[in-house]
Structure 1
Amino acid sequence: MRVTISSAMFLTTPRWWLPFFMPSTISWLLIVVGLIFMWRNRASCISRAWRLGALMNALGAVILYLACAPFVATWLALGLEHMVTPLRAADAPKCDAIVVLGSSFHWHRDQPNETYFVSAIADRFRVAAEAYKLGKAPLLVLGGGGKLDEPGVCEGQFQKQMALELAIPESAIVVGPQVINTEQEAIQHAATLRGLHVKKILLATSVFHLPRAAMQFRALGFEVVELPCHYLTAGIDEQFSWRMLLPRGQALDQTETCMKEYLGLLSATLFLAKEAAVEPTP
């Protein structure tokens, strides 16, 4: 079967089905269904249905604990970080453009003209701006980012303003449209980059996001140099501690973030095969 890039990217896009593969959802469903089984068969605690409900409760609790355990979250993050070769902006090769991917960002506004971004985008922009200042590419392509159903400042325009404040010329800045996921962003950027005759890009994004993002851009025909940032672990300095056995909400968030990337990589590996036909975006 001939798979086109556009259809393959549709299959790899994180959509409505992703939450059903997340440990928080799985554990919640197991516990709720298990409690229903136990309640309906409460008259006989030795019945098969009651024991099945108890087993589902126990399994749900174990899954939830593991998802909230910092040692699991760290292990998952390290797995993604080890897929990317460390590279500093100063050591990056010359490219045709530096591409900064957007993120699901949040902002804080304490005054009408004072907006602060709270997300990974700050580190992504930092390494990209550093690479531009070092002359690694003549173009700085900024992701529009943002959630289309939320009002607020456009992430790409905010980054552009920061770039101008750093004395990066406006003629060297390209701002992409707002999109809702990496796949759409890659397709939109691909159309722009082809129009600028760009073939080799320096891709700046969070290190855990880089394997999947780089795969998407390579599938669209670009030579990609990965510029990692926003690490989630201490790397070689990471050490096990008994505190990593204590469940934490922050660990759950990191676990599910990493699991989304692993699922995205799995679907990309399955559907963005070498025989996929590259179809230029009009």
Structure 2
Amino acid sequence: MRIAEIDLESLSSLQIARLVMGERYYRGETADVIFVFGGQSPERVRHAAKLFHAGKAPLLLLSGGTKFGQRHPPEAVAMREQALELGVPPEVILIETDSNHTVENVLCSLVVLHRKVGLHRIRRLIAVTVPWHMRRSLLALRTYLPRWIEPIPCPVSLPGFDPQRWWEHPEASWRVPREARKVVDYVREGFVADEEVHL
């Protein structure tokens, strides 16, 4: 089934989980950069720092702006401070501060990556975000990244969160249904390319 064809009302709770979180999980792959999508959960940067210290990639790219002027400083600036506190060396941290949403996270980060590294030198990218944001993040990456760059999903582990029982988690209980709607709307409105999903 393609995402644009999905009737959200007909999906079970587990199918909704697969829609927003995807079917593939991180298997320990190495990459050229760890890409962290902006957001207010500090677990994203903690997770990325662990990956860096484990030698999974030599660079961190922290992406997040002011969300249409609502957040000061930009998300990526605050994320950088957290990464430094977690022992990530400043010279391996790249930040992108112009984006306002998920698609712009990718688009604006392409310029940063190209100027600092060269897109032609990147083959794999580890994508870090919270579990319920993973499908939409991957759709944005697959739509806008150059075809030779493979995005590897690496969702954050959240305390008390079980993807199979997401409705019991206080934040996921409202974020997952909202994210399911965003995934379908993003595809139908043409912000990201449609793809086949197995629910």
TM-score between both structures, scaled by the size of structure 2: 0.73
Q: How far off is 1:155 after superposition? A: 1.6
Preserved contact between residue 102 and residue 146 of structure 1 (Cα < 8 Å): no
RMSD (Å), alpha carbons:
3.4
Q: Which runs of 5+ in 2 are unaligned?
A: 1-7
Counterpart for residue 177 of structure 1:
97
Q: How far off is 1:233 after superposition? A: 5.4
Give the paired residue count: 178
Secondary structure in structure 2 of the residue aligned to 1:78: helix
Counterpart for residue 30 of structure 2:
94
Counterpart for residue 57 of structure 2:
137
Q: How far off is 1:258 after superposition? A: 2.4
- In the superposition, relative to structure 1, how do residues 81 and 273 fare at CA in structure 2: closer, same or farther (>3 Å)? closer
Q: Percent identity?
A: 20
Preserved contact between residue 142 and residue 156 of structure 1 (Cα < 8 Å): yes
- What code does the residue aligned with 2:155 have? P
The partner residue of 1:165 within 70, 85, 91 is 85
- What code does the residue aligned with 1:229 have? V
The partner residue of 1:228 within 148, 155, 178 is 155
**Structure with the higher helix share, 1 or 2:** 1
- In the superposition, relative to structure 1, how do residues 228 and 266 fare at CA in structure 2: closer, same or farther (>3 Å)? farther
Counterpart for residue 85 of structure 1:
24
Q: How far off is 1:128 after superposition? A: 1.0
Matches within 5 A, 1:210-249: 210-219=134-143, 220-221=145-146, 222-229=149-156, 234-236=162-164, 238=165
Q: Deviations over 1:215-259 (max 9, x none)?
A: 2222321211111126695234x399xxx8xxx998555422321
Q: How far off is 1:189 after superposition? A: 0.8
Q: How far off is 1:92 after superposition? A: 2.1
Secondary structure in structure 1 of the residue aligned to 2:154: strand
Matches within 5 A, 1:100-139: 100-103=36-39, 119-120=40-41, 122-139=42-59
Q: How far off is 1:182 after superposition? A: 1.1
Q: Which runs of 5+ in 1 are unaligned?
A: 1-22, 24-65, 104-118, 275-282
| Counterpart-to-counterpart distance in 2, 1:250 and 1:153 | 26
